[in-house]
Amino acid sequence: MHIKEKFNLTGKVAIITGASKGIGRAIAEALGQCGARVVVSSRKQEAVDAVAAELKAQQIEALAVAAHMGQEEDIQRLASETRKHFGRIDILVNNAASNPVFGPIADTNPAAFDKIIGVNLRGPFLLSNEVYPDMRRQGGGSIIHISSVEGLTPSPGLGIYSVSKASLLMLTKAQAREWGSDGIRVNAICPGLIQTKFSRALWENADVLQHFLGKTALQRIGQPEDIAGLAVFLASDAAVYCTGSMFIADGGYLI
Phi and psi, residue 29, nearest 5°: -65, -45
CB hemisphere CA count around 206 (13 angstroms): 0
161 is catalytic: yes
CA angle 167, 99, 42 (to 5 degrees): 95
CA 96 – CA 93 distance, rounded (Å): 9
Q: Cβ(55)–Cβ(38) under 8 Å? A: yes
User: What contacts 76, CB < 8 A, 6 or more positions away?
Assistant: 130
In angstroms, how far is CA 19 from the centroid of its own chain?
Answer: 9
With residues binned 3-state (H G I as helix, E B as strand, rest as coil), the percentages for the chain, rounded to 5, are: 50, 15, 35
120, 172 Cβ separation under 8 angstroms: no
Which residues carry out catalysis?
161
